């Protein structure tokens, strides 16, 4: 199952969502606070407070950050 932690106004999140949609992947989004001091869940998952953060339990990914890394991971893992 794919989960993406996002903030609605975040362009880096939109970039990752575009790739998820392009690859036809289903995913759940978790909308995090605009304020980074209220992003405990994101910090626990990824060790930092920026979004996007991807969780892909099927592949042992428990909190990947950096949108470019996420895009590369998605293409490598799911692009046929």
Ligand X SMILES: N[C@@H](CCC(=O)N[C@@H](CS)C(=O)NCC(=O)O)C(=O)O
Tell the residue number behind the tokens 């975040």, with chain if given.
10
Residue 4 is a binding residue for ligand X (CB under 6 A): no
Q: Which of 4, 5, 12, 71 binds ligand X (CB under 6 A)?
A: 12
Answer for the pair 13, 27: CB distance below 8 angstroms, yes or no.
Answer: no
Minimal distance, residue 45 CB to ligand X, in Å:
13
Q: Which range in 20-28, 48-56, 71-79 contacts ligand X by CB under 6 A?
A: 48-56
Q: Is beta strand 2-6 parallel, antiparallel or unpaired with respect to 27-31? A: parallel
| Contact assessment for residue 67 and residue 13, using Cβ atoms and an 8 Å cutoff | yes
Among 5, 19, 54, 67, binds ligand X (CB under 6 A): 67
């Amino acid at each position: 199952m794919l989960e993406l932690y996002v903030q609605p106004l975040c362009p880096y999140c939109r970039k990752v969502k575009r790739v998820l949609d392009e690859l036809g992947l289903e995913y759940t989004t978790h909308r995090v606070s605009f304020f980074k001091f209220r992003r405990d869940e994101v910090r626990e998952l990824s060790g930092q407070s920026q979004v996007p953060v991807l969780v892909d339990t099927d592949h042992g990914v428990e909190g990947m950050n950096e949108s470019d890394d996420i895009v590369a991971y998605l293409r490598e893992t799911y692009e046929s």
